[in-house]
Chains A and B, each alone.
Chain A
Amino acid sequence: MSKILIRGAKVLGGEPQDVLIDGETIAEVGTGLSAEGAEVVEAGGKVLLPGLVDLHTHLREPGREDSETVLTGTRAAASGGYTAVFAMANTFPVADTAGVVEQVWRLGREHGYCDVQPVGAVTVGLEGRKLAELGAMHESAAGVTVFSDDGKCVDDAVIMRRALEYVKAFGGVVAQHAQEPRLTEGAQMNEGVVSAELGLGGWPAVAEESIIARDVLLAEHVGSRVHICHLSTAGSVEIVRWAKSRGIDVTAEVTPHHLLLTDEMVRTYNPVYKVNPPLRTERDVMALREALADGTIDIVATDHAPHPHEDKDCEWAAAAMGMVGLETALSVVQETMVDTGLLDWAGVADRMSFTPARIGRAGGHGRPVSAGEPANLTLVDTAYRGQVDPAGFASRSRNTPYEGRELPGRVTHTWLRGKATLVDGKLT
């Protein structure tokens, strides 16, 4: 088996250390380790993190291979420092049966860039009426533990209650896309000062907050855990904070774009800023950063949502919702959380690796950087600053809101169980 010595890396941002990988595992962590028989990677003060874990990715395969495939999506993931991604269920066909989730899981294994953990649909066809075979998906080779109708809200309170209860039998979790459907009919952007001026249909914060409030109370009532996808408002933060203070088993994620961008961007009518939930206000952005720092929000998840060019090169109302995020997530988190002093690199490891792996029960991922652990690692050049150039993306899609924006940090190496998937910023 091959040995790799990563020399002089700031493990989780600490003092420089050497990390020796032997085969699929970390053999040793220390200073002055012998390079004998090992390929040496000079880290030169770069930050070494556990391989990132994304609890919320859209890989689009099967069904929309024109926007992304498991191969291109996992290459994008490796590029962004990820070693595991959870692939959302809103494919065609929907990932609501054991057959579909096994296919997606197997494609991930075959390509070998990043582990793909499929998310199963909560309801058949994401229609919110009838529970999908959650147990069968869990027992399949894919071993599904996270269930979500993401893209749609499980808005029927009884269906949501039953799903929360049912998955307890095998330690599953329901990840809710919190969006009250009636309050968001025709919604195009955050409802507020900007939508009033632009004449675009409003997506009010209360449509998210009311569902979160209901679901944390349901989770408390039936003693289940619940996960909130892409939390986007200051009010949602308050509700989750309250729920946690009551001991309710709730976890929540925030996307990189909600940590950086506001609805002011919509004034350009450029659909690259069209996303669901929508970009909110400066006040929301600040509340989300603070909540991620204090742990009220547990993790960062990308909601990587690739779309073909034509679905964004049009008028706002006709455009698809969503942005790609895997290849820029860490940079945005550095910009908004680390460089602002809100979070250190150990905190980033927690929010982007340890905790998402724990929520999703992703075995072998989100482990400490220490001897005996699987060698899932990411090396980041945190001193780098550069403009985002979508032409260089590994993703099949280019719908990034950061084109031309200067952001810090660049992932140079990623290792998946000791195998390099990214070397010097280039995919293997």
Chain B
Amino acid sequence: MQRHLISAADLTRDDAVLILDTAEEMARVADRPIKKLPTLRGRTVVNLFFEDSTRTRISFEAAEKRLSADVINFSAKGSSVSKGESLKDTAQTLEAMGVDAVVIRHSASGAPYRLATSGWIDAVVINAGDGTHQHPTQALLDAFTMRRRLIGRDAGLGQDLDGRRITVVGDVLHSRVARSNVDLLHTLGAEVTLVAPPTLLPVGVETWPCEVSYDLDATLPKSDAVMMLRVQRERMNAAFFPTEREYSRRYGLDADRMAKMPEHAIVMHPGPMVRGMEITAEVADSERCTVVEQVANGVSIRMAVLYLLLGGNEPAVTHTRTTEEK
């Protein structure tokens, strides 16, 4: 496994399965009365959030605290960044305070990569979402959720998603979740189909390791999981689609469409959902929808990633970490 987690594409199949398996162990911690491991005691993790994202930040924070790390939360609003401080200076300031890992969320694609490769800092960098590029822990928690639901909690251990058919629907163009999922699911052996209006697919998508379709109804019966992406209403102002209603009619998931899915198939959403836009309340609240589970799984996945990248020398988990300690 590489020293940083920047892109889902950097993970090998074995890396990814190791993270999923480790996350299952971490999930058991959540079932204990005291939900805490001493693994990262004395290590400091900063959550460096240049973009508002309460859910992701809280998820990382919960994961860090359950591993007993010291946590510093940094949000760009009201900080020196709003006074014009550069990413480099901010990162170096934090590192000077003795930070072991930086969890970074940034609106600029590539910002975590720059942080990890420019020689600005030595800390481990974990990408918590950069622009429209990548969101690797989201892809991991999605894969974790799929494996649990489609294979089983114990049966899934050591397994990938070979042959599972995953459909991702919505604003692929602006979605780091879609990019990360295509990369990781492909690595795990799944067959991915992207469904979107042509305006919301990037030029160049034809080279991605997945299928592309404009027809949701034709794809649903062949799906083991359907992941609905958030579609921002503002997109219609830039002529990506005519109206909210038309988008919902053509690409939204309602009960009638859900009925076309196989019995076992699940509905996923990275949140936050726009109810009435890409997903109806009826579907969102149904048994088949895993939104809340995804949130819980997110904490386990982030614990596993932090554990493996930062300190996992405990014998409980064996892994192929090749990076040296700082």
Contact = CB atoms under 8 A, between A and B. Distances in A.
Interface in B196-246: 202-205, 207-208
Contacts of A158: none
- Kindly name the residue among A194, A195, A196, A310 whose own CB sees the greatest number of chain B CB atoms within 10 A: A196
B242 to A, nearest CB: 18
B109 A313 contact: no
Contact of A198 (B87, B118, B133): B133
B255 interface: no
B86 A199 contact: no
Nearest to A316: B110
B114 A315 contact: yes
A203 to B, nearest CB: 11
Nearest to A318: B108
Interface string B154-180: 000000000000000000000010010
B203 A204 contact: yes
Contact of A313 (B86, B107, B113, B203): B86
Contacts of B176: 199
- Kindly name the residue among B88, B110, B134, B207 whose own CB sees the greatest number of chain A CB atoms within 10 A: B110
A197 B106 contact: no
B91 to A, nearest CB: 11
B204 A196 contact: yes
A314 B204 contact: no
Given A193-B207, A315-B111, A202 B133 contact: no
A200 B111 CA distance: 11
B276 interface: no
B187 to A, nearest CB: 15
Interface string A288-321: 0000000000000000000000100111111000
Interface string A185-218: 0001001111111111010100000000000000
B132 A269 contact: no
A200 B110 contact: yes
B203 A198 contact: no
B109 A196 contact: no
Contacts of A202: 202-203
A317 B86 contact: no
A92 B108 CA distance: 28
A268 B106 CA distance: 17
B312 interface: no
B128 to A, nearest CB: 15
Interface string A111-155: 000000000000000000000000000000000000000000000
A269 B208 contact: no
Contact of B109 (A193, A204, A316): A316
Interface in A317-357: 317-318
Residues of B in contact with A, size category: 20 to 34
Interface residues of A, number: 23
Contact of B106 (A198, A204, A270, A315): A315
A195 B204 contact: yes
A199 B204 contact: no
Contacts, number: 75
A268 B113 CA distance: 8
A315 B106 CA distance: 10
Contacts of A316: 108-111, 114
Contacts of B86: 310, 313-314, 318
B110 A198 contact: yes
Contacts of B118: 313
Contacts of B204: 191-197
A199 B203 contact: no
B258 to A, nearest CB: 30
B97 to A, nearest CB: 21
B1 to A, nearest CB: 20
Given A202-B202, A269-B114, A315-B114, A196 B131 contact: no
A408 B133 CA distance: 37
A147 B203 CA distance: 35
A317 B203 contact: no
Contacts of B179: 197, 199
Nearest to B173: A196
Contacts of A193: 204, 207
A199 B87 contact: no
A385 B16 CA distance: 45
- Kindly name the residue among B86, B114, B132, B176 whose own CB sees the greatest number of chain A CB atoms within 10 A: B114
Contacts of A268: 117
A308 to B, nearest CB: 12
A196 B205 contact: yes
Contacts of B133: 198-200
B32 to A, nearest CB: 39
A198 B88 contact: no
Given A196-B207, A269-B114, A317 B88 contact: no
A25 B118 CA distance: 50
A195 B109 CA distance: 10
Contact of A317 (B113, B131, B207, B208): B131
B290 to A, nearest CB: 25
22 contacts: A188-B109, A193-B204, A193-B207, A194-B204, A195-B202, A196-B202, A196-B205, A197-B204, A198-B110, A199-B130, A199-B132, A200-B133, A269-B110, A269-B117, A314-B87, A315-B110, A315-B111, A316-B108, A316-B110, A316-B114, A317-B107, A317-B111
Interface of B: 86-88, 106-111, 113-114, 117-118, 130-134, 176, 179, 202-205, 207-208
Interface of A: 188, 191-200, 202, 204, 268-270, 310, 313-318
- 8 nearest A-B pairs in the assembled complex, by CB-CB distance: A196-B204, A269-B110, A199-B133, A199-B132, A317-B108, A196-B202, A193-B204, A199-B109
Given A196-B203, A317-B131, 5 more contacts: A199-B133, A200-B131, A269-B109, A269-B110, A314-B86
